[in-house]
Structure formats: C-alpha cells, structure tokens
Amino acid sequence: MACDAAGVAGGVRRVAGTVSEHKAELTNLDREIGDGDHGENLARGFGAVIGKLDAETPDSPGGVLKLVATTLISTVGGASGPLFGTAFLRAATSVGDAGELDGSAVAAALEAARDGVVARGKAEPGDKTMVDALTPAVDAAKAAAEGGGDAAAVLAAAAGAAEQGAADTEPMQAHKGRASYLGERSIGHVDPGARSTAYLLRALADAAG
Amino acid sequence: MACDAAGVAGGVRRVAGTVSEHKAELTNLDREIGDGDHGENLARGFGAVIGKLDAETPDSPGGVLKLVATTLISTVGGASGPLFGTAFLRAATSVGDAGELDGSAVAAALEAARDGVVARGKAEPGDKTMVDALTPAVDAAKAAAEGGGDAAAVLAAAAGAAEQGAADTEPMQAHKGRASYLGERSIGHVDPGARSTAYLLRALADAAG
Amino acid sequence: MKKIINDPSTVVEEALHGMEVAHADLIKVNYSPAYIVRADAPVKGKVALVSGGGSGHEPLHGGFVGMGMLDAAAPGAVFTSPTPDQVLDATKAVDGGAGVLHIVKNYTGDVLNFETAAELAQAEDIQVEAVVVDDDVAVKDSTWTAGRRGVGGTVLLEKIVGAAAQRGDDLAACKALAEKVNGQVRSMGLALTACTVPHAGEPSFTLGDDEMEMGVGIHGEPGRERVTLTSADEMVSTMLGSVVEDLPFSSGDSTLLFVNGMGGTPLIELYLAYNSCVKFLKEKGIGVTRSLVGNYITSLEMQGMSITLLRLDDDMTTLWDAPVHTAALRWGA
Amino acid sequence: MKKIINDPSTVVEEALHGMEVAHADLIKVNYSPAYIVRADAPVKGKVALVSGGGSGHEPLHGGFVGMGMLDAAAPGAVFTSPTPDQVLDATKAVDGGAGVLHIVKNYTGDVLNFETAAELAQAEDIQVEAVVVDDDVAVKDSTWTAGRRGVGGTVLLEKIVGAAAQRGDDLAACKALAEKVNGQVRSMGLALTACTVPHAGEPSFTLGDDEMEMGVGIHGEPGRERVTLTSADEMVSTMLGSVVEDLPFSSGDSTLLFVNGMGGTPLIELYLAYNSCVKFLKEKGIGVTRSLVGNYITSLEMQGMSITLLRLDDDMTTLWDAPVHTAALRWGA
Ligand SMILES: Nc1ncnc2c1ncn2[C@@H]1O[C@H](COP(=O)(O)OP(=O)(O)O)[C@@H](O)[C@H]1O
Ligand SMILES: Nc1ncnc2c1ncn2[C@@H]1O[C@H](COP(=O)(O)OP(=O)(O)O)[C@@H](O)[C@H]1O
Ligand SMILES: [Mg+2]
Ligand SMILES: [Mg+2]
Ligand SMILES: [Mg+2]
Ligand SMILES: [Mg+2]
C-alpha cells in the first residue's frame, strides 16, 4: 500500500485494532509496575482517532499524523497521552505537506518522534520507558532507509527493533515514570509503554507491507 | 459443695471459665445468625464479675447473684446483657437472704430467672432464643426438686434439659432478636444465647456436684 | 483480619481518645462508663438529645455530637449496644432541666438497655422520653421478627430533631417531631462484602465473587436475600423500589435523598449511585430537594451502601438547613 | 471486581452527574471536556486555583471546589491524569483577571498535561503559574526516579492557598505560599489491601493475609517495601518516623496532623491511628494544633491510610481556619 494519506490512515486504523486487541495485556503490564491503565488509555485515544477519521480523512500523511496527535493529546491523559501525542505531532511536522512518504521520510519522521518524546519526558535509553523501544526502532529505520528500503521496509525494520527493544526492558530498573517508584522491584517486568510502542510500529508496518 | 455464698461464687467462677473457653464457639454461632459478638459479650461480662468477686465476695447466695446481675448489666450491653442481668436479678430476689439453697430454692430461682427474661424480652418458647434453653431447664429443675433432689441434682437436671433445649433450636426459625431478620435463613443454626445458657447451667451444676 | 488497631479489646477506647483530641473544641469524652458529650453540656433550658449504640458505625453517633444535633452519645463495644449505666450517666451529664430525648435504633439490645437507663434516670427525677427508629424496609415488620431495624433514617432524625431542640422546642415537641420523621423515612441497605468484628477475627458472612446481600443490616446481619451482583441502576431500582412503595412516596413529594456508604465504599461509587437514584425518582415524579452523600452510618469496612429517603415538609427542611457543628456534619457554623 | 457501577467506561461521567446534582448550589460541571468549577466562577479580581488529576481519589479534587478553596478541578479517567484541554478550558472558565495557579501533583502524566495546558493558556494571554506538590517521603527524591509523589499535602495546600486567594493575595503571593506549604509538609501512606481500577477489573497488586504495603502511592503503586502486618502503633512509628526525620520536624514545632483514609478504611480505625500519632508526636515534643481525620485523598476502595504532617506558622494557621465551603470540607460558612 502506498504511504499516502489513505495509506497512513489505514495504518492508523490498524493501530487502533491492535491496541484494542492487546488492551488487557497492556493494562496488565501496567498493573505490575504502574497503575493499571495503559491499555485503557490507548484504547480510549485510538478509539477517538477512529471517530475523527470516520468523520473526515485529511488529505496528506502529515494531516493524518497531526489529527492523531491532537486527538491523543485531548483524549488519553496520563503520561502516555502527551508523549505519544508529541511523537505524532513531531512526525507530522517532519513530513510536512508531502503527498506520499518514501523510506527516508518515514525514518526521519520516526527520529523526530523519538526526539520529541525525549524532549518532553527527559528519559534516556535504559530508563525503562517507551524510549527503549523507539530508539532502536529509529536506528533500524535509518539503516533500512540508507540501504534504500521503501516505507514498508523501513517500518518493518523499525517494528522488529522496537519489539526487541521492548523485550529488553524486562531486566531494566525504571528511572522514569510511575514504575520508578518501585526501585528494584521494577526489574523483571516489560515496560507497558515500550510494548505498546512496538505494537504500534508493527501495525503500521503490517499495513504498509 | 454446699450451695451457700461460697458455693454459688465458686459456681459463678466456673461459669466464667466455661464462657471464656467457649468464647470463640459462641461468637461463631452469633456470626452465623447474629452479629458475631455473643462470646465476646459474655466473656467481657463474666471477666468483670470475677474482678468484682476477687475484690469482695458477698455473704449470701442472693448477694452473689445480685453482684453478677448488676455487673452483667453494666458491662455486657447487647441483648444478652440486660436479659442475663435480669435473670440473675430475679434469681437473687427469689432466693432472698437465705444462707444456703436447697433443691426447691434453686428450682424456684431458675423459674424466676426465666420469667424475668420472658418479661423483658417477650420471647415465647419456639422463638429460637435463650428462652428455649431456659424453659425446659425450669421444667426439669422443678421435677427434680419435687422428686426431692438437692441443689446439685436440680442443677444437673436443668443443665441436661438446657443442653437438649439449645440443640432443639437448630431447626427453628427465629422470631426474636437479631436472628429474626434472617427469616427462614435462621433455620439450621443453634441459637447462641440458648447455647450459652446451657453452658452456664452446666458449669453451675458441675461446680455444685 | 486486616485492621489498623493495636488490640481488639482496646479499639473503642483508643478511637475515643483520638476523637477527643481531634475534636477538643466540640466534645468531651468520659471513659468509665464511656460516653461523649458536647463540650458545653449541659445546655441550660434546652432539651437534650442522647443516642448511642454499638461502635463500628462511625461517625454515628459520636460524630454527631455538637451544636444543633446530639448532646451525648453512648458507644458500646463494636456492634454491641451500650450498657444502661453509659446511657444513664450520659443522660445525667447533658440534662439541662428541659428533659432528655433518647434516640434508640430498634434492636433488641439497644431497646432493652435504653429502657433500663430511662427508668433509672426517671427514678432520679430526670424527664426522659424515647423514640425508637425503625426505618429499614428490608425487614418485615411483623410479630414474627424483632421489628424493623433502625438504620440511615437515624442520621436524618438526629439532625432534624437536634435543630428543633436547639431552637428551643420542648420535650413533647421534640418527641413528636422525632416520631414524625421516623414515620416519613425509609431505608434499605446492600452489602458487596462482609465486615469483620475485631474480636471475632473472621468476616461476619461470606459472599461469592458475584454475589451481594440485598437488605443487609448495619451489623452485617444478612439481609433479605443473597442475589447476583447487578449494575448500580438495578441495585438502586430494587432498593428505592422497596423504599418508595413502602411509605409510599408519591409523585410531587419533596424529599431528602441520603446515599450512605457502609464504610468501605469509595465516594465515586456513592455519587454514581446517587445519580442512579435521582434518575429513578425523577421518573416517578418524586422531587429531591435536599441531599446527603457519604459514609455516615457504617459497618466497619463493609463495602456497600444504603439509601434513605425522607419526605420533607417546610419545617423539616428549615431544620435540616439550620446550622450544625459536629465532627461529621457541619454547616452554617 | 465488586463495585457499585453500571459500566467501567462511564464511571467518571456518572459520578460527575451525581456530584453536580447533589451540590448544585456549589459547583457546575462541564462534560466535554470534563471539569468542575465553582458555581460563581469566574470570581473577578481573585486569583483562581485549578487542580486536577486522575479520578478515583474522591473527594480530591472536585470535592474541594468552592468558596475558599479551588476554583476548578479537572478529573481524568480513573488514575489517569486529565488532558490538556480539560485543564485549559477549566483555566479559561475560572480566570477572573488576576491569574490562575495550577496545583499539580508530581506524576509524569500530571506534570506533562498541566504544562501543555499552561502553555496554551499563556498563548491566550492568561497568566498561569504552577506549583508541583511532592510531599511523599516514601519515594526517594533522586535523579533515579520521577521524583517524590504528590499525596496528602495536596489537600492541605489547596485549603491554605485557597484561603489566601480568597482574601485577595495576588498570583505571586499565592504561588510563593504554595511553595512554602509544599516545603513544610511531608506524608507517607500504607495499604492493607489493593484497589481495583474499574477498567482493569483485577486488583492492582496482591497482598498476603498478613502483609501490608508500606509507602504505597495513591494509585496503588507498590511502595517502599512489603512488610508483615503490625500494630497501629508500629505502623504509625514507621510512617511518622520517616515523615518527622525527613523535614525534619523538631521539638516545639506546631503542626497540622492529617490522618487520611485510603477509601476503604473505617473512621474508627482512623481515629485510633490519630491517637497513636498524637502519642508519637508528644514524645518528640511536637505539638498538634490543628487536625484533619477522614477520607480525603483516596485510592478507590483500598484499605489503608496516609499520614501527613504540616509545620504551621501563624499565617498558615489563620488561613487553615478561614471559612471554606466545598462539598467535602466546610466550616465557618
Ligand atoms: N518520562 C517518560 N519518558 C518516556 N516515557 C515515559 C515517561 N514516563 C512514563 N513513560 C511511559 O509511559 C508509560 C505509562 O503510560 P500510561 O500508563 O498510559 O500513563 P500513566 O503512567 O500516567 O498511568 C510507561 O510504560 C512508559 O513507557
Ligand atoms: N427478645 C429476646 N428474648 C430472649 N432472648 C433474646 C431476645 N433477643 C435476643 N435474645 C438472645 O440473645 C442472644 C444474642 O445475644 P448477643 O449476641 O450478646 O446480643 P446482640 O444480639 O445484641 O448482639 C440470642 O442468641 C438470643 O438467645
Ligand atoms: Mg498507567
Ligand atoms: Mg450478638
Ligand atoms: Mg451485638
Ligand atoms: Mg495513569
């Protein structure tokens, strides 16, 4: 599928489906080291996104990304609302008004998204947050784009790396977000935001592939 | 043991021991069809009685019974406090200032006690209350006294009848006290006040025997 | 049993100490026998209101002692009515010469102990009257039971009659008003979980994960029937259905709606239930002009709620709105 | 999961409806986006106080909206910080021209969402300042964590700064006072049982029959350590020990002692714990001159408590005593 407005909107719809499918799992991860709402938070946000998309699909990838951003910001709340919101907002700014995205545009958008999350949340890799999924995803995306990969290939590379990144959060001790209050007791659990980030990228990759 | 002041005081001490020993059982019965405090209520009351007896033993059976009555009234509360209190008060009045009690004095005291409980609580036999232990006890005591039994024999007869009376409350539906709120669901449980009445009479009988 | 206590046998006394220090401006506590009185008791020339009952229902009754409500409260052991000497001494401590009204919840133990105290007080030439509150529609009021239990209506009665005493109504008027309130108020309770009496150490009853006890009493007495857990709207429709039908309340009535938590129910659920109640009453044309939402007559840590509906007239409304200053209810002062 | 609800996804909205009807004289509720404002908002010329946070902590914050305390509260989903548009619209609704103070509990989500709202409000020429409350000594305040959490101190801060705004203090003075209160208040919590987020349907954590979570957060975040259940005196000595040592509080200090229930703890236990606290502080020579005992910042149906100690000065004491009229705190009005 082409990475144009319709393609990106399709990807976002698939993300919504994935989030809803894994809602309980994400909430359970958050019960372990957080406050048990992450799945619900994202489901509420992407549910609202679908409503907006049903009403009117913007005519550029950037427009779609911006719609996702503002909807998440105004419906999710919690830590993940502003962070995912910022990610989509920065991605939207990065792609500008391009009608279709190639591999390097996707990689650049992912990098902008990650940088936005870091700017807002001040988390570094290893702090056991969504940044630990986003950072390897950005690296893999950039490598794939430099190797000439198209949007689908770049997203697939990002998704694979994010999945690995999410799994790698399990032995980490959290230093940011609610899980940090647990100190050493945060060790041994996968970070919910890292896991949801991986699901999100996988859904986008599947839709594009 | 003679049924004089010291004998009655000894009986009361034994009652205190029995109540404390069966505290959990009585409370559990009351949890089933009441509010889970009957054992505790009586243990608190007879504990206070012991304290009073330790300080000073009255010099007549009637004096001891009156001390028990006022102490129960001022320390037990609940339904059983005024009812047992009334029972001991009426028994005290019935024995007057006799120095020692024979079989018929004991039977008369028991009857006065039962009548006092009925006057205050308005329960009839079959209502699933302590009256269902007291009434057969009075009947048996009177029969034993008429047959020439001494105080010990009268109390033994009363205790045996009370035990049977208590057991007989199990299939009854409660019509008085807290258990009555349960309606048919009160069926199948022994009434705590009937059971404690039986323990009380058995302890008195054992002490006298 | 999980409780913030030191020893089951000192729970009531230690909590009384806490109340005394936390509310030194409002109340004084006597320990032997145990009772709580207004700091300014006796109030000369005012009818005094004395209530009491087992502990474990806080803030009832001690939290309602103060200007415009109770003059004294006699707290028994947990779930055990107080003894006559507690009630007697409390009565003597607050009698301001205008007589004393005993507010008694209808339980065998409470009635018997208050009766004895009243007799003893009368023997000491104190004028005592009593009202027995029996607003719980879950219990059939027949010769086959000890009669209806006194539950949530007690709180409303204590506030309204307390205000009447404060404005100077005499003993006969206070008693008549108390009986009127009792005649116009109905309640019903529900438990989602049981409570544990500290001394017993075990829950008073056991409920399955999907069960609730409809019509529960405030001592964890099992209620009307054990039913499957339902939605808030359905709970309310069963409870208010029985309440409305019993009086009966009718279209056009002006009411005070009291949604009460049993001690372990969070406020968010009580406000939600309150909303369900208002919807239910609206459909029946019954107006809600005054409200009370919160944990006011509880059963230790029990989860659940009770709903109380009082038909108001102008005088009762004025008395409800009158200033009150107690630990648990305070306005206009 | 046993709750008095209809549907997990409408819990907050239905409870808001209930609050709105029960307190129509005090508050107005907006639903999209959700926020609660004083019925008389905006109050011209007065600094407005806006707080907010996840729902499930009732009466915090909506129960504190009214004269002398908050001007608005933005309730998020259960345990989820509100979104920027809730806070922004609430801010706009209450701005009376003298600026708005955001009172934010220190959680990543709350801080981020309030920051965004503040930026947007400033872009619309509303003067906004913020104070971040972080009084929970259970969390180590280091670069290794998101910093201390905002807990019980928030209630006291909202009351005291609310009174300052009510008497006419300007935005800079309100912010300075808020920071001063935050600097002099410390808290610690404890859970006997877990709570269940309606959407999650399962308890947030599991505790053994003889275990408690020392240092628990108000979202059921596990605390400092899981320990064996102890007596109330020992609980208090651990909690107040940490609190006193942290500031530190010293002999001769005059304090406000706040014993708070987590939602499922009966009042009798809170008064008992309050008594333990007073004993503990007396030994250390720390004076308690003001008190608050009850369920004010809760975690759904969690059993447990938190203890908050605030070092008072004369001005704070005057502001604490000043009239307040909200759903959950009311005096002098
Ligand atoms: N400072 C931060 N930087 C980046 N990500 C963060 C930060 N704090 C929290 N997160 C992410 O947010 C996730 C939690 O999101 P969510 O449960 O929706 O919010 P909340 O913690 O407010 O309940 C965490 O798993 C983590 O990945
Ligand atoms: N009206 C009554 N007449 C006689 N006995 C009664 C009556 N009401 C209750 N009882 C007795 O009291 C017992 C309960 O005593 P207790 O648990 O101590 O008091 P409470 O019911 O106030 O908690 C019942 O088991 C019953 O035997
Ligand atoms: Mg979360
Ligand atoms: Mg009992
Ligand atoms: Mg009892
Ligand atoms: Mg959250």
CATH number for the domain including D225?
A: 3.30.1180.20
SS3 of residue D247 by DSSP: coil
What DSSP assignment string belongs to A128-170? SSTHHHHHHHHHHHHHHHHTT--HHHHHHHHHHHHHHHHHHTT
Q: Could you give the C-alpha distances from B188 to B170, C157, C225, D274, in angstroms and in order?
A: 5, 37, 16, 43
CATH number for the domain including D141?
A: 3.40.50.10440
From first to last of the 209 residues of chain A, give the pLDDT tens digit.
689 999 999 999 999 999 999 999 999 999 999 988 999 999 999 999 999 999 998 999 999 999 999 999 999 999 999 999 999 999 999 999 999 999 999 999 999 999 999 999 999 999 999 999 999 999 999 999 999 999 999 999 999 999 999 999 999 999 999 999 888 889 999 999 999 999 999 999 999 98
Q: Is B80 in the pocket of ligand 2 (CB under 6 A)?
A: yes
Task: Report percent pLDDT > 90 for chain C.
Answer: 92
Q: pLDDT at position C146, please?
A: 81
Which comes out higher in pLDDT, residue D146 or D138? D138
Using a CB-CB distance cutoff of 8 angstroms, which residues of chain C are in contact with residue D232?
4-6, 14
Query: Is D18 close to C264, i.e. CB distance below 8 A?
Result: no
Q: Is pLDDT of C142 > 80?
A: no
What is the rounded distance in angstroms from the CA atom of residue A17 to the CA atom of residue A10?
Answer: 11
For residue B23, the one-letter residue type is K
The answer, for D78 touching chain A at a CB cutoff of 8 Å, is yes
Query: Is A181 close to D76, i.e. CB distance below 8 A?
Result: no
Q: pLDDT at position C171, please?
A: 98
Q: What is the mean pLDDT of chain D?
A: 96
Which residue of A83, A122, A135, A168 sits with most ligand 1 atoms within 8 Å of its CB, as the best mutation to test the pocket? A83
HEC states along chain B? CCCEHHHHHHHHHHHHHHHHHCHHHHHHHHHHHCCCCHHHHHHHHHHHHHHHHHHCCCCCHHHHHHHHHHHHHHHCCCCHHHHHHHHHHHHHHHHCCCCECCHHHHHHHHHHHHHHHHHHHCCCCCCCCCHHHHHHHHHHHHHHHHCCCCHHHHHHHHHHHHHHHHHHCCCCCCCCCHHHHHHHHHCCCCCHHHHHHHHHHHHHHHHHC
What is the rounded distance in angstroms from the CA atom of residue A197 to the CA atom of residue C135?
Answer: 57
The answer, for D189 touching chain A at a CB cutoff of 8 Å, is no
**Are residues C198 and C151 both part of a single domain?**
no
**Are residues C279 and C247 both part of a single domain?**
yes
The active-site residue, picked from D57, D61, D102, D325, is: D57
How many folded domains does chain C comprise?
2
Q: What tens digit of pLDDT does each residue of D183-195 get?
A: 999 999 999 999 9
Whether the CB-CB separation of C105 and C53 falls below 8 Å is answered with yes
CATH of domain B5-208: 1.25.40.340
Whether the CB-CB separation of A180 and A124 falls below 8 Å is answered with no
Q: Could you give the C-alpha distances from D221 to C293, D31, D54, D199, D215, in angstroms and in order?
A: 28, 28, 14, 16, 9
**Are residues D208 and D102 both part of a single domain?**
no
**Are residues D27 and D51 both part of a single domain?**
yes
Q: What tens digit of pLDDT does each residue of B98-119 get?
A: 999 999 999 999 999 999 999 9
Q: ipTM surpassing 0.90, yes or no?
A: yes
What is the rounded distance in angstroms from the CA atom of residue D230 to the CA atom of residue D210?
Answer: 9
Question: Known catalytic residue: C102?
Answer: no
**Are residues D180 and D61 both part of a single domain?**
yes
Q: Do chains D and A touch (3 or more CB pairs under 8 A)?
A: yes
Whether the CB-CB separation of D299 and D78 falls below 8 Å is answered with no
Strands D48-55 and D100-105: parallel
**Are residues D193 and D161 both part of a single domain?**
no
Phi, psi for C47 (deg, rounded to 5)? -60, 135
First to last CA, chain C: 40
The answer, for C266 touching chain D at a CB cutoff of 8 Å, is yes
Going by C-alpha positions, the residue among A35, A182, C298 that lies closest to residue D263 is: C298
Is the previous residue joined to A125 through a cis bond, with omega within 30 degrees of 0?
no
Q: Is pLDDT of C144 > 80?
A: no
**Are residues C295 and C209 both part of a single domain?**
yes
Q: pLDDT at position C143, please?
A: 65
For ligand 2, atom 24, name the residue with the nearest CA: B193
Mean pLDDT (whole number) for D129-150: 88
The answer, for D53 touching chain A at a CB cutoff of 8 Å, is no
In a domain, D333, yes or no: no
Q: What tens digit of pLDDT does each residue of A114-139 get?
A: 999 999 999 999 999 999 999 999 99
The active-site residue, picked from C57, C61, C199, C325, is: C57
For residue D166, the enclosing domain spans 11-184
Compute the radius of gyration of chain A from its Cα atoms. 16
**Are residues D143 and D50 both part of a single domain?**
yes
pTM of the predicted protein model: 0.94
Question: Known catalytic residue: D17?
Answer: no
**Alpha helix stretches (DSSP H) within chain C:** 11-22, 84-94, 108-123, 153-167, 171-184, 232-246, 267-283, 314-321
Q: Is B124 in the pocket of ligand 2 (CB under 6 A)?
A: no
Q: Is pLDDT of B91 > 70?
A: yes
Whether the CB-CB separation of D205 and D127 falls below 8 Å is answered with no
In a domain, D331, yes or no: no
Is the previous residue joined to C61 through a cis bond, with omega within 30 degrees of 0?
yes
Burial (CB count <10 Å: 0-12, 13-18, 19+), residue B155: buried
Q: What is the mean pLDDT of chain B?
A: 96
Q: pLDDT at position D158, please?
A: 98
**Are residues D128 and D61 both part of a single domain?**
yes
Domain boundaries, chain A: 5-208
Going by C-alpha positions, the residue among C209, C220, C327 that lies closest to residue C264 is: C220
**Are residues C85 and C206 both part of a single domain?**
no
First to last CA, chain B: 7
Going by C-alpha positions, the residue among A128, A125, A122 that lies closest to residue A188 is: A128
**Are residues D85 and D15 both part of a single domain?**
yes
Please identify, among D151, D184, D217, the residue that sits at the C-terminal boundary of a domain.
Answer: D184
Q: What tens digit of pLDDT does each residue of D255-304 get?
A: 999 999 999 999 999 999 999 999 999 999 999 999 999 999 999 999 99
Mean pLDDT (whole number) for C190-200: 94
Best probe of the B interface among C108, C205, C226, by most B CBs < 10 A, is C108
Query: Is C145 close to B73, i.e. CB distance below 8 A?
Result: no
Any idea which residue has 């269940």 for tokens? D196
**Residue D179 Cα to ligand 6 middle (Å):** 25
